[in-house]
Amino acid sequence: MIKILLKDQHKNYFSSEPLLTRDEERVFSPGEMAYQKLLKPMHFSTETWGWILSFLFHALLLFGIGLSLFPKSSPQMPALPPSMIELVPSPEPQQPQSKTEPQPPPLRPDDMVKAVVQKPKALQKKPAPRPQQPSLAQRVTAMALPDYLRNPPPIYPEEARRKGEQGVVYIWVKISPAGTVASLSIYRSSGFADLDASAVDAVKRWRFHPAKSGNTPVESQAVVPVQFHLTK
């Protein structure tokens, strides 16, 4: 037990216990002694309280600045459970079942038919058709010949003469029964266009002695040469 002598009540001492009279002694247990120390107010001056409040203010200010500087941690996505994919083996293709074809029953000798062997027939050769002999009226007894006495000679082109061009032009002529030129074309060229054109222009106005079958004039064909030659 601890004995504490409480002095004057008018001094700056505060207690939650009832006030004791002057010079009154009271005995405190150790637990009560600690409790009394906690209840005993602390006396600070005005300057000390100013320093304390300033320290608390700056501490709160620094705490707020620290919170603003540190980035907020983003919420983490919940971890998804690992997923597994199983590969299912593809079914094996079914092999087509071979259908067994029904085999025909074995043939008996009585069911067989004997093959008939036919001897080839001798081929009879047909006589080749004989060429038809032209009748006497269709036979040509005279060839067509140009009537040189009445046919004007071709004109030698001046340009071809100046260039010294010369040669022979062969004209194919179809002669009518009247002896006139039914159609014509160049059978062989002389090599010079001016000479060929002059020969065609001259021969198409010519007249011919028609070919005859017996005494009858018939249509015929002939190749007429036209020569261009320069004389010195």
- At 55 the pLDDT is 86
At 63, give phi and psi (nearest 5°).
Answer: -65, -40
Q: Which residues of 45-65 are buried (b: 16+ CB within 10 A; e: fewer)?
A: eeeeeeeeeeeeeeeeeeeee
Express as a percent the part of the chain with pLDDT over 90. Answer: 30
Task: Report the half-sphere exposure of 203 (CA within 13 A, side-chain side).
Answer: 27
Q: For 145-228, CATH number?
A: 3.30.2420.10
- At 158 the pLDDT is 93
**Residue 218 vs residues 150, 160, 174, 204: alpha-carbon distances, Å:** 21, 38, 11, 19
The mean per-residue pLDDT over the stretch 120-133 comes to 55
| pTM assigned to the model | 0.40
What residues does each domain of the chain span? 2-39, 145-228
Out of 29-33, 45-49, 170-174, 210-214, pick the least confident.
29-33
